Amino acid sequence: MPQDSAMGVAAERFAQTIGSQTHGALRVDVFPEGQLGNDLKMAEMARDGELDIVLIPTAKMSILLPALQYVDLPFYFSSPDMLYRMLDGEPGQLLLSKLHAVGLVGATFWGNGFKQFTANRSIHTPEDFHDLKVRVMQSRLIMDQYADLGAKPIPIEFREIRQALADGVVEAQENPLSAIAAMGIHQVQSHLTLSDHAYLAYVLAISETLLARLPHVQQTLLLETAKTITPFQREETARREEQFLQQIRQAGVRINRLTEQERAVFTRKLRHLSLQFEEVIGSDIISKTEELLFNWQSRQGKGNEIVVGLDTALSQTRARAGLAIKQGARLAMHEINQAGGVLGRPLALLAFDDMAIPTRGVDHFRFLAKQDAVVAILGGTNSPVVLAQSELADELKIPFLVARAAAAGVVEHTDRLSPFSFRISANDRLAGPFLVDAALAKGSRVALVLEETAWGRNMLPHLQNHCKQRNITPVLVAWINRGEHDFTTHMQAMRDSGADVVVLVVNADESVSWLQAVAIHKPTLPIVSHWGIIGGDFFAKTRHALDKVELTFLQTFSPARAQEARLRALQKSYGDLFGAGFQDMTLPLSGFAQAYDLVHLLARAIHQAGTTNRQAIRDALEHIADYKGLIKDYHPPFTSDRHDALDRNDYFMARFDASGHIVPQLSGAPP
C-alpha cells in the first residue's frame, strides 16, 4: 500500500480520527509499502498479537480464509454499486465474521478498484482470450476463470508483470487502473478493456489480541471508524481512476468498455464458477447474495421466473448436507430450463440458511410464502425445523417438498386433510427398523446411542419397538447432549454393557468426537448409523479414526445403483453447470438426488396443472402417474393418502471409500 495511494490516504485519515476521538489515548501508526513484511507475514503477526491492525488484499488472505475469494468471482456482480451493497450488507458481514477463525476481527472492506483487462488486442468476447497467455495471481478461482475462457493462465508475481509482458512471457493480464498505471503496464500493452469484472478488495482487520485488551468503547470506536471512512476510500479511488484513465489514454492505449450485451456473454460463460466454488466461499454467503439480488430484481419489476424457495442449513456443521440439496435442485432446474422451462418460463431457486434453528426456518418459510412468484418451498436437513414448517405449509397452503428431514410426522399427518407436504427421503418410522436389522446382521447385543434432541427422542420408540419385534432388548440406551465432547463415561458404559454393535442416531456436530472415542475403544464395535453424521465435514475430521472402525450408514442413492443412461445424462448436465465431474463430488449424495427428483416432479406437476396456482400444483403432485427418476422409477411418486415417495425397499447401507466418496456396503442391505 503506497503512502500516497487512496488506501494510504484513507489509512492516515483513520489514524488521525482515532487519535482525535480518543484525545491521544489511542495512537495508530501507519506502516505503508510492506515495511513490516509481506501480506501473509503481517497477517500472521496480527494473529499472534504482534501487529494490531492490518489492511491486506482479500486474494492474499484467501490462502488463510478461502471464503474471501467471493470478490474474485468474475462477472458475478452486475455493477460496482451492486458489489458495494453486498460487501456493506449481510454477505460482507458473513465474510468478516469468518475472520474470527484466524484470530482477526473484520472491520470493513476497502479496495484498490475494479479489475480491467489489458492485452495487445481488443477484448470483446470470451473467444478473444483463446490461447492467450494471461498473467494471474496464484488463485485457483482466477486460474480456472481464464482456463474456462480458453486462455493459458500463468501465475507471476505482481512486481514482475511489466517485464513478463515486455518479454512476451505473457500477453495479457488483469488489474485495477491504479496498478496498471503504477506498474507501467500501459506502456507495454496496446489495448485496455474496461470490464469491471472483479474487485481487488482489501480487508481491514484488527487483532483479537488487541481488542481483548481494550475497553468496549474503544473497540467500538476502531470498528465504526473503519466503516465510516470506507465511502471516502472508495470515492477517492474512483476519483483517482479518472486521472489514471487519462494517463493511460495519453500513452496511446486503445480503450474500449464492454457493452451490457458483451458482459452478459461473459456472465453466462463463467456463471458456473459461483456454483463450483460455493462450498469454498460458503453457501450461506452465496445464498444471501442471491436473496438480495432477487429482492432487488423484484423491486425493479424484473424477472419472469417461476421461483422455488429453499430453506435449509447452509452454514456451520450441516452446510454440506444443505448444499447437496441446493445443488440437486439447481441441476434439475438447469435441465428443465435447457429444455424450455415450464409453461414457457424458467425455474429459479431462492435459498435461505436456517442454521438448523426452527424459529429462523419458520420466518423464512413465511417470507417465501408471501412472494407471489414462489410456487413451492424445498426443505431441509433438520427435522425440528421441517416439522414446524410442515404445519405452516398446510396453514399457508403452499406445496412443501422435503428432500432430507426424516421425522415421520413431516408427512404422516393423522389430523390433517389434504396436506401440502411431500417427501423424497427416508422416513424414521421405517428407518428405525431398518437400522436395527442392519445392526443385528453384525451382532446380537445392541447399544442405542442417540442425540438428546427431538429427533433422537422421536427415533427411540421406532428402534425399541422393532427390537421388541426381533425379541431382543437393547443392552444400553445412551444419550449425547449438544456440545458434548468428552465421552469417557460413554465408553465405560459401553464396555460394561457388553454391547457388540451400536446403532447411532446423531448429527454431525458431536459425532466426530464420539467416533474418535470409539476408535480407541478396545475392542472397537461396528457402528450402524443414520445419515445425520454425514451432514458436515465428518469424513475429513475422522478419516484416520475410520481406519479403525467399521462404520456404515443409511442412504437412498448411489451412482452404483443408478440406471446407467440416466446417470450418464446427469453426469453431462452436472459438468455443464458446475464445471466439474459428478464423480468427484463428495457432498451427501442422497440429499442431492432427492432434491433433484423432487424438482423434476414439481415441474411435471406444474405442467400437468397448466398453472402456477399452488393448490392446483399440490393436487397435481398426487396425480402424477409415473416418473423415471434418478433414485428409482416412481409408480406413482405420490397418492392422495401417501406423500412419501420412498419406502424401506429404497434404503441401503453405505460406507466411505478411501477418498471420502459414499459407496454401498459390499455385504448389501439387511433383510
Confidence class of residue 97 from pLDDT cuts 50, 70 and 90? very high
Domains of the chain: 6-110+201-244 (3.40.190.170), 116-198+253-270 (3.40.190.10), 272-425+586-634 (3.40.50.2300), 428-555+653-664 (3.40.50.2300)
Q: What would the mean pLDDT of 94-114 be, rounded to a whole number?
A: 96
Task: Count CB neighbours of 514 within 10 A.
Answer: 24
Residue with cell 475410520: 546
Q: What pLDDT does residue 584 have?
A: 86
Task: Count CB neighbours of 483 within 10 A.
Answer: 7
Q: What pLDDT does residue 585 have?
A: 87
Q: What would the mean pLDDT of 449-454 be, rounded to a whole number?
A: 92
Q: What would the mean pLDDT of 121-131 be, rounded to a whole number?
A: 97
Confidence class of residue 483 from pLDDT cuts 50, 70 and 90? confident
pTM check: above 0.85: yes
**Higher model confidence: residue 363 or residue 382?**
363
Is residue 109 a contact partner of residue 67, using CB atoms and an 8 Å limit? no
* Angle of CA points 412, 417, 419, to nearest 5°: 55
Which of 97-111, 147-161, 219-233, 524-538 is predicted with the least confidence, judged by mean pLDDT?
A: 524-538
CA gap 667, 355 in Å, rounded: 36
**Higher model confidence: residue 585 or residue 121?**
121
Cell of 384: 425440528
Confidence class of residue 667 from pLDDT cuts 50, 70 and 90? low
Pick from 599, 614, 630: which is nearest to 333 by CA? 599
Q: How far is CA 274 from CA 7, 77, 266, 336, 451, in A?
A: 28, 11, 13, 20, 35
CA gap 252, 232 in Å, rounded: 31
For residue range 156-214, what is the model confidence (pLDDT) as tens digits? Answer: 999 999 999 999 999 999 999 999 999 999 999 999 999 999 999 999 999 999 999 99
Q: What would the mean pLDDT of 517-540 be, rounded to a whole number?
A: 88
Q: What pLDDT does residue 668 have?
A: 46
For residue range 610-648, what is the model confidence (pLDDT) as tens digits? Answer: 999 999 999 999 999 999 999 999 999 999 999 999 999
Q: What pLDDT does residue 619 have?
A: 98
Q: What would the mean pLDDT of 225-251 be, rounded to a whole number?
A: 96
H or E element in which residue 257 lies: strand 254-257
Q: What pLDDT does residue 365 have?
A: 98
Pick from 611, 604, 616, 609: which is nearest to 645 by CA? 604
Enumerate residues 6+ apart whose C-beta is below 8 A from 237: 6, 7, 111, 112, 113, 178
DSSP 3-state helix, strand, coil percentages of the chain (rounded to 5)? 50, 15, 30
| Residue 177: strand, helix, or coil | helix
Q: What is the mean pLDDT of the chain?
A: 94
For residue range 270-292, what is the model confidence (pLDDT) as tens digits? Answer: 999 999 999 999 999 999 999 99
Which of 128-132, 533-537, 551-555 is predicted with the least confidence, judged by mean pLDDT?
A: 533-537
* Angle of CA points 296, 300, 301, to nearest 5°: 120
Q: Is the pLDDT of residue 671 over 80?
A: no
Q: What would the mean pLDDT of 380-408 be, rounded to a whole number?
A: 94
Q: Is the pLDDT of residue 399 over 80?
A: yes
Enumerate residues 6+ apart whose C-beta is below 8 A from 14: 28, 225, 226, 229
Is residue 603 a contact partner of residue 343, using CB atoms and an 8 Å limit? no
**Higher model confidence: residue 34 or residue 150?**
150
